[in-house]
Amino acid sequence: MTREPLERGISVDPGTVAEAGLLRSGTGASGRGVRATVLIGVTGLALAWPFLSDFTVSLFATIALYAIVTAGLVLMTGVAGMTSFGQAAFVGLGSYATAWVCTSPVATAALGAWVAPGLLPWIGLLLGAGLTFAVSWGLGAVTLRLSGHYLPLCTIAWGLSLYFLFGNLAFLGGHTGITGLPALTLFGFSMASPRALGVLAWVVLLIVLWGLSNLLDSREGRAVRALKSSRIMAESMGIDTARSRIKAFVLAGLLAAISGWLYAHLQRFVNPTPFNLNIGIEYLFMAVVGGAGHLWGAVLGATLITLLKQRLQDWLPQLLGASGNFEVIAFGLLMLFVLQRFPEGLWPSLASRWHRWLGAPRLSPREAMSKPADADTHPQPRGFMAPAGISIAETRSQAQLLKASQVTRRFGGLLANDSVSITVCAGEVHALIGPNGAGKSTFFNLISGVDQPSSGEVQLMGQSMTGRPARDFARLGLGRTFQHVRLLNQRTVLENVAMGAYRTGQAGWLKSILRLDRREEAELLAEAQRQLERCALTAYAGASAGALSLGQQRIVEIARALAGKPRLLLLDEPAAGLRHLEKQTLARLLGQLRAEGLGILVVEHDMDFVMNLADRITVLNFGSVIASGTPAEVQTSPAVLDAYLGGVIEPEVIERS
């Protein structure tokens, strides 16, 4: 049914690319012991390779081919959160492209004059990659706009379409397929035997894992990680999430096509069967069982499923005394079991268990927090620090950063914001207050590009922002935090803060994959580290963000916003959930930032906090501005006292000012 391992010739040795960098899978669960184990495993396979039976060699070659596709799925589905059932179709594109180039009379006649026969498969690779690039970009542009269940459904639709296309095109041999593919030759070596091609497949797999792990360990990798759970946050950091999604999708497609190309030259014939929807589901199954968020999970999943399928295909018919695809039923049950017991897949559990056997327990986030690895090199500051070299008096100015004029937002018949006008200047803290449902969050969305006003205009740094996305606001110097904290809980505090520095970097996907971004990456991380120091969070740099208290997470969000070097900061309820002392430190930090010349617009319910900090206050009620002025003016406004019914603004606060 699927790719059957072939039994053919002999020679060579895989896995020479197993350099240390490759084993940094970019995921938390792989400690040093696990890396060593993987290295030993790959070296062991390389050493044993010449002595393995032809059958075993074919099986391992198939595993590598599966794992290349699955690694792409780990990036796309596990990390970026886009489920695809259709990867087998891209494998098919890669296979059919090379099969056609190498065997069709049209292609060989056209190319024969200026290309040696040995180069035809490489032309096939280029064609397959080009086709896959075009098709996946096109499909991605259409389908990736969809969310929820629609995206996976669409992948099923085009997975099926391409499969039937392969089977129904006469020049691709219909359902019988294409036979007589030549063997690959590389630097004059023939790869006719599965033993030789298997080496190539493993080398390609290891290079793919190395590249993907580099990617995940970079600025663009952090952007990809944010796609799954926090697209609004990512856009607010200046990340073009639609582009990131398409790139992840295209990269996964290209890896599938490369696997297909290798597969075609391993089998030396192609037919539509291995590119069926079933197999597309099987790839996804491998990723999920292995651990969809972990690159080495792809190898584990591909190995387990391939070996298991092999065994079950032999055993089950014998056991049950009848022939049939019983392994499919067994897989279904296995999937249920794995998802129940190991929702993250097997790799993370195995990795941490293995680590425990090796006698070096991994620090839990809380332990990691109490034992900061860099406590000696980075003494923790007592309070918030001003960045070096900034003179407070010099940077203070009154430039207008934000100007919202007559901004209105309707939700059906509801006027959530009714002609709201506000300005925020450099070097001031402007507070936006009002009872629940007054329209504060709606207004925040309008002035940060998350939502568009029904009428009225928002100007940022003097530019009209009508119709522009959140990332443009970020590029112009807007930093923000969220009422409901949006951090990547599994990632470290340092990585989360570095995400804020995204738009200050340049390195793209290719540079990141090839690890040519190290200088810039070091700068971004150093900037994140500086912001952590400034916010007195250095001790938590290595802890998972999810392990921090809500108050600390809010400060991490501020540090993340600061890492983007903003001129204007929007803070949505920064003091909510903070303890008294934390509020005091937060107020000190905001005072410090104001002194450095930042403009700050803050929505906050804690009146004590607001009244003591803000230079100006605007009060919203039922979507309209009912008062605006200094804290003293606002507190004595009858409209404000009326709106709050004397409940929230406590008399003592009013008296104090």
Binding site for Mg ion (CB under 5 A): 441
Does 607 engage in binding with ligand ADP (CB under 6 A)?
A: no
The helix/strand/coil state of 546 is helix
Q: Could you tell me if residue 526 is left (phi over 0), alpha (psi between -120 and 50 degrees) or otherwise beta?
A: alpha
CB of 339 to ligand ADP, least distance (A): 33
Q: Which does 173 bind (CB under 5 to 8 A by kind): Mg ion, ligand ADP, none?
A: none
Select 265 or 440, whichever has its Cβ closest to ligand ADP. 440
Select 30 or 442, whichever has its Cβ closest to ligand ADP. 442
Joined tokens for residue 296? 């080495």
Q: Which does 150 bind (CB under 5 to 8 A by kind): Mg ion, ligand ADP, none?
A: none
Taking CB under 6 A as the binding criterion, the range among 115-123, 210-218, 321-329, 436-444 that sits at the site for ligand ADP is 436-444
Q: Which does 61 bind (CB under 5 to 8 A by kind): Mg ion, ligand ADP, none?
A: none
CB of 437 to ligand ADP, least distance (A): 4
Lateral strand order in the sheet of 429-433: 478-480, 568-572, 599-603, 429-433, 616-621, 624-629
Is the distance from CB of 84 to CB of 152 less than 8 angstroms?
yes
Does 434 engage in binding with ligand ADP (CB under 6 A)?
A: yes
Give residues with Cβ within 8 angstroms of 126, minimum separation 6. Answer: none
Half-sphere exposure of residue 90: CA atoms within 13 angstroms, side-chain side: 35
CB of 614 to Mg ion, least distance (A): 17
Please, which of residues 453-492 interact with ligand ADP by CB under 6 A? none
Amino acid at 72: G
Taking CB under 6 A as the binding criterion, the range among 103-111, 286-294, 297-305, 429-437 that sits at the site for ligand ADP is 429-437
From residue 397 to residue 416, the character string flagging contacts with ligand ADP as x (rule: CB under 6 A) and all else as - is --------------x--x-x
Does 574 engage in binding with ligand ADP (CB under 6 A)?
A: no
d(C-alpha 559, C-alpha 553), whole Å: 10
Exposure string over 222-255, b if 16+ CB within 10 A, otherwise e: bbbbbbbebbebbbbbbbebbebbbbbbbbbbbb
Select 433 or 558, whichever has its Cβ closest to ligand ADP. 433
Q: Provide the residue count of the chain.
A: 657
Select 372 or 437, whichever has its Cβ closest to ligand ADP. 437
CB of 445 to ligand ADP, least distance (A): 8
Amino acid at 139: L
Select 41 or 469, whichever has its Cβ closest to ligand ADP. 469
CB atoms within 10 A of CB 595: 16
Q: Which does 416 bind (CB under 5 to 8 A by kind): ligand ADP, Mg ion, none?
A: ligand ADP
d(C-alpha 369, C-alpha 363), whole Å: 9
Q: Which of 53, 318, 377, 436 binds ligand ADP (CB under 6 A)?
A: 436
Name the CA radius of gyration of the chain, rounded.
29
Q: Which of 439, 449, 566, 631 binds ligand ADP (CB under 6 A)?
A: 439
What is the total count of residues that contact ligand ADP (CB under 6 A)?
Answer: 11
Q: Which of 25, 143, 306, 441 binds ligand ADP (CB under 6 A)?
A: 441
Phi, psi of 544 (to 5 degrees): -70, 140
d(C-alpha 267, C-alpha 290), whole Å: 26
Is the distance from CB of 455 to CB of 416 less than 8 angstroms?
no
Q: How does DSSP classify residue 440?
A: H
Half-sphere exposure of residue 395: CA atoms within 13 angstroms, side-chain side: 18
Select 47 or 414, whichever has its Cβ closest to ligand ADP. 414
Does 442 engage in binding with ligand ADP (CB under 6 A)?
A: yes
CB of 353 to ligand ADP, least distance (A): 45
Half-sphere exposure of residue 182: CA atoms within 13 angstroms, side-chain side: 20
CB of 467 to ligand ADP, least distance (A): 18
Joined tokens for residue 308? 């298991």
Select 85 or 443, whichever has its Cβ closest to Mg ion. 443
Amino acid at 615: D
Select 348 or 623, whichever has its Cβ closest to ligand ADP. 623
Does 621 engage in binding with ligand ADP (CB under 6 A)?
A: no
d(C-alpha 472, C-alpha 126), whole Å: 36
Select 220 or 573, whichever has its Cβ closest to ligand ADP. 573
Q: Which does 436 bind (CB under 5 to 8 A by kind): ligand ADP, Mg ion, none?
A: ligand ADP
Select 122 or 622, whichever has its Cβ closest to Mg ion. 622
Select 54 or 418, whichever has its Cβ closest to ligand ADP. 418
Q: Which of 231, 440, 491, 534 binds ligand ADP (CB under 6 A)?
A: 440
d(C-alpha 339, C-alpha 342), whole Å: 5
Name the E strands within 473-522: 478-480
Does 438 engage in binding with ligand ADP (CB under 6 A)?
A: yes
Q: Which does 315 bind (CB under 5 to 8 A by kind): ligand ADP, Mg ion, none?
A: none
- For 227-285, give the DSSP string: HHH-HHHHHHTT--HHHHHHHHHHHHHHHHHHHHHHHHHHHS-B-SGGGSHHHHHHHHH
The helix/strand/coil state of 178 is strand
CB of 488 to Mg ion, least distance (A): 23
Q: How does DSSP classify residue 258?
A: H
Joined tokens for residue 436? 């629940």
Select 218 or 442, whichever has its Cβ closest to ligand ADP. 442
Is the distance from CB of 560 to CB of 496 less than 8 angstroms?
yes
CB of 640 to ligand ADP, least distance (A): 15
Does 437 engage in binding with ligand ADP (CB under 6 A)?
A: yes
Q: Which residues contribute to the site for ligand ADP (CB under 6 A)? A: 411, 414, 416, 434, 436-442
